[in-house]
Amino acid sequence: MHYTKYLLFLAFFLLVRVASAENGYELWMRYTKVSDEKLLTRYQELTSSIHIPGNSATLDVIRAELRLGIGKMLGKIPHFTTEATAGILIGQLSDIPSLYAGEHTSLEGITEDGYAIYTKEKQIVITAPTDAGLLYATFHLLRLIQTGQSLERLHLTSSPKVKLRLLNHWDNLNRTVERGYAGFSIWDWHTLPDYIDERYIDYARANASIGINGVVLTNVNASATALTPSYLQKVKALADVMRPYHIKVYLTARFSAPLEIGRLETADPLNKEVKRWWKEKTDEIYALIPDFGGFLVKANSEGQPGPQDYGRTHAEGANMLADVLAPHQGIVMWRAFVYSHEALEDRHKQAYNEFVPLDGKFRDNVLVQVKNGAIDFMPREPFHPLFGAMPQTPLMMEFQLTQEYLGQATHLVYLAPLFKECLNSDTYAQGEGSTVAKIVDGSLDKHRINGIAGVSNIGNDINWCGHPFAQANWYAFGRLCWDYDLNASEIAKEWLKMTFSNDSSFVEQVCQIMMGSREALVNYMNPIGLHHLMGTGHHYGPAPWVDDLPRADWNPTYYHKADTQGIGFDRTTSGSNALSQYHPEVRRKWEDLSLCEDEYLLWFHHLPWDDQLKDGHSIWEKLCESYYSGMQSVKTMQEVWDRQQNKIDDQRFKQVQMLLAIQYKEAKWWRDACLLYFQTFSGQEILPKHEKVAHTLEYYRSLHFPYAPGHW
Ligand code: BDP
C-alpha cells in the first residue's frame, strides 16, 4: 500500500473508532438518541419548551442537565422560556402559578428530598418542597426518556426512605485508594484548590442522578494532614463543586490529630485543651464550608488511635466530636468495625460486646456505622448482630461497593441482591417484621437521623470503576438508598438500558447474568457459609491454608477450622456462642441444623464431612457441587455474553468478554485450590463426573502476588 493511502486508511480507521468509541466514561448518562421515530416525535413535542421560575445554582444545574440530556436524546435543545404555559414546568410549589397546580401540589407525604411529577392538562409539572427534590425529579424525567417510557398522563411521587445516602471514599492523600481497583483517587489533591477537574462535576452529576447526597472524601485510616489549613482549602473547592448537586462533603477525623497537627500532648477526649482544639478546628472548617457534613471516625480498630488509648469509651470519643459539630448541625459517624488486638474472643462477637453497653450514651447527632456483617464484607454474611441490639442509637449501614472480597475489579458481580438480602433480614428486635432496613431507616426506633454508606468503587480509570459492570453497583447502591424496596432486577434493567442499550433481548439476557452473578461467586469462593479464605494482605485469590499470621483471626484456618473430623466455625453454645447475640427467633433458627439455611451452615456450625444436608448431599459432596456449579455459572455467563455481540458497542463488548475470561480462570483457581486443600482433611474423592483439577495443591500454595492492587 502507498504510504499516503496507508495514512488515509489509518485516519479513516481511527475516525470510525473514535466515532464509535464507548469507553464507559459517561456511565448511565450517555443520553443516546431515541431511535423509535414515533416516540422521538412525541418526546420532542412534550419537551420543546421548559419554564423554570426562580434562580439558584441547583436550578442552573437542572437547566444544564436538561439541555444536555434532551439535546442529545431528542436532537433538539429545549427552549427555556418565561412562559408558565411551557411544555414542562419545574418549580417549588411557591413558584408555580396556582393555575398550573395539580392534585399533587399539596406535596403531602413528600419528604424533604422528594418530588412529584404529573401531567396537568397538556403540561408536565415537576414540583418539590426543595430545589434538591427538583434536581432528583429532573433525573427521573430524563431516566424515563432514556429507558423509552411514556411521558403521557404522568402521576408520580417519590421520596427517599433514607436521609443520609453517602459514599465513603477510602482515598489517601497521595492518591492511592485503599482497596481501590479502578486506578488512583479521583481527587487530585496536588492541583486542588485551583484546578477543578471536569471529573469532579461529572462525579457530582452521577451521584445526584441516583440520589446520593454526601461523600466522605478521605480514607477511614485517616491522615491528620487532611485537617490542615491548606488541605481544608482543597476540601472547600470540592464542596463548592458538589453543593449545587445537593452533595455535602464529610471528612474522616484522625483521633490523634491534636497530637499530630495540633502540637498537644494528648488526644484524650475529656481533656480541655483537646476539646478546645477540636472546637477551633471544626469552627475553622465551617467558616470555609458552611454546609460541611461532619466526621467519619475509625477509632481503636486495626491499630488506629482512639479514645480507648486514654481509657475512655467510644461514646466519650464520639460525644466530644459531636459537641463541637452540633452548633453547626454537623454529625459524627462513628464506626463499629472494631476488634481488639488482645481479645481472643470470636471476632464475630467483639463489636457487639463493645458497643451494646454504650447504647443510649451517644449524643443525638452521632450515628454508629455498622458493616452489613460481623466479619468483614464477605461474599455472604448473616446480618450484623448489632442491628436490633442498640435501639437507642441510630445505626448507619455500611456496605462495600469496592469488591475487596468479591473478585475485585475483574469479576462481574452485581451487588444489589447482597444489599437487599441484608436489608430484608428480620432481626425480630420488636417481633416479626423488624427488618434491618427498618432499623437503618430509623422507623423502628423512631430516630431523627438515619443513613446508609457505601465504600466507593471509584477511581480515575477512564470508566470510573474498572469493570464496566462495577458501575452497576454504584448505580444500584444509590437507587436502593433511595428506596430499598426497589426490585434488584428492575434496577439492573434500568441500568442496562441507560448504560448499554434498550434492546430488549440484550436487557433480558444480561439482566439474568447480573442477577445470578453474586450467587455464582459465593459458590466458587465461599460456599455453604465458608468465609475469609482469601490471600493475605491484598485479599486476592484463595489461600485457605494460611495459618501463620501473628493474630489468630487474620488466618483463614481460624474461620474454616477444617480438620479430619469436619469443617466450619461453631458459633452455637458448644462453640463461641456468637449466636447468643441475635434475638431468640433468629438464634433458634440458625442454631437448629434442620432450620438453618445451607447458605449459613458452616458460618454457624462445625459439621462432620459425612453429615447429610437436606438435599441428601454430604458436606463434602455439597462443597464439591457448589464449587463446580459456581464455575459452571461463569461459563454460562460467558456464553450468554458472547451472544450479545453486535447488540452493543464493540469496545465494551470485548472488555467484558476479556474480563469474563479472567473471572472463569479465577473461579477455577478458587475451586481447585480450595477443594484440593479441604480434601487433605476430608480424605474423600472429587467425583469422577467432575472435571479434573488443573494443578497440585503445592502449585496453588506457591503462587504469590506481591503487586496485587488495592493494598498499600
Ligand atoms: C477491611 C479492609 C481494610 C479497611 C478495614 C476497615 O481490609 O483495608 O481499613 O476493612 O473497614 O475490610 O476499616
pLDDT means per 10 residues, the chain with 712 residues, are 49 44 95 97 97 96 98 97 95 81 72 93 94 98 98 96 98 98 98 98 98 98 98 98 98 98 98 98 98 98 96 98 98 94 86 98 98 98 98 98 97 98 98 98 97 98 98 99 98 98 98 98 98 98 97 95 98 98 98 97 98 96 98 98 97 98 98 98 95 96 96 88
Measured distance CA(554)–CA(561) in Å, rounded = 13
Please tell me the residue having the least CA distance from ligand 1 atom 9: 221
Query: Cα(46) to centroid of ligand 1, in Å?
Result: 49
Closest atom of ligand 1 to 398 CA is 11
pLDDT value of residue 4 = 53
Query: Cα(518) to centroid of ligand 1, in Å?
Result: 21
Task: For residue 638, give every residue at least 6 positions away whose Cβ sits within 8 Å of its Cβ, in sequence order, or none.
Answer: 657, 660, 661, 664
Measured distance CA(367)–CA(395) in Å, rounded = 6
- Comparing CA positions, the residue from 161, 238, 204 lying closest to residue 58 is 204
Query: Cα(64) to centroid of ligand 1, in Å?
Result: 39
pLDDT value of residue 636 = 98
pLDDT in tens, 612-670: 999 999 999 999 999 999 999 999 999 999 999 999 999 999 999 999 999 999 999 99
Judged on CB neighbours under 10 Å (0-12, 13-18, 19+), 62 is: buried
- Which whole-number Å values give the CA distances from 178 to 181, 214, 220, 239, in the listed order? 9, 19, 9, 22
DSSP conformation class of 170: -
Query: Cα(337) to centroid of ligand 1, in Å?
Result: 9
CA 164 to chain CA mean position, Å: 13
DSSP conformation class of 599: G
Please tell me the residue having the least CA distance from ligand 1 atom 1: 376
Three-class secondary structure of residue 88 per DSSP: strand
Please tell me the residue having the least CA distance from ligand 1 atom 2: 179
- Active-site positions read 302, 376, 404
Q: Rg of the chain's alpha carbons, rounded to an integer?
A: 26
Domains and CATH numbers, the chain: 26-158 (3.30.379.10), 164-499 (3.20.20.80), 522-569+606-701 (3.90.1330.10)
Question: Which residues surround ligand 1 with Cβ inside 6 Å?
Answer: 178-179, 220-221, 298, 302, 337, 376-377, 404
Query: Cα(170) to centroid of ligand 1, in Å?
Result: 9
pLDDT value of residue 663 = 98
Measured distance CA(441)–CA(187) in Å, rounded = 30
pLDDT in tens, 75-97: 999 999 999 999 999 999 888 87
At CA 212, angle to CA 209 and CA 215, rounded to 5? 130
Closest atom of ligand 1 to 539 CA is 7
Alpha carbons within 13 angstroms on the beta-carbon side of residue 123 total: 20
pLDDT value of residue 99 = 66
Query: Cα(99) to centroid of ligand 1, in Å?
Result: 55
The predicted model scores a pTM of 0.96
Query: Pocket of ligand 1, candidates 219, 221, 370: which has the most ligand atoms within 8 Å of its Cβ, to mutate?
Result: 221
Please tell me the residue having the least CA distance from ligand 1 atom 12: 376
Three-class secondary structure of residue 10 per DSSP: helix
Closest atom of ligand 1 to 219 CA is 9
Q: Are 315 and 335 in contact (CB under 8 A)?
A: no
pLDDT value of residue 339 = 84
Measured distance CA(105)–CA(21) in Å, rounded = 44
Quick one: which H or E segment has residue 197? none
Query: Pocket of ligand 1, candidates 168, 170, 179: which has the most ligand atoms within 8 Å of its Cβ, to mutate?
Result: 179
Measured distance CA(351)–CA(335) in Å, rounded = 10
Three-class secondary structure of residue 628 per DSSP: helix
Measured distance CA(627)–CA(670) in Å, rounded = 8
DSSP conformation class of 250: E
Task: Tell me the residue type at 131.
Answer: D
Closest atom of ligand 1 to 376 CA is 12
Place of cell 426518556: 145
Query: Cα(251) to centroid of ligand 1, in Å?
Result: 17
Query: Cα(187) to centroid of ligand 1, in Å?
Result: 20
Please tell me the residue having the least CA distance from ligand 1 atom 10: 376
Closest atom of ligand 1 to 179 CA is 8
At CA 177, angle to CA 171 and CA 178, rounded to 5? 100
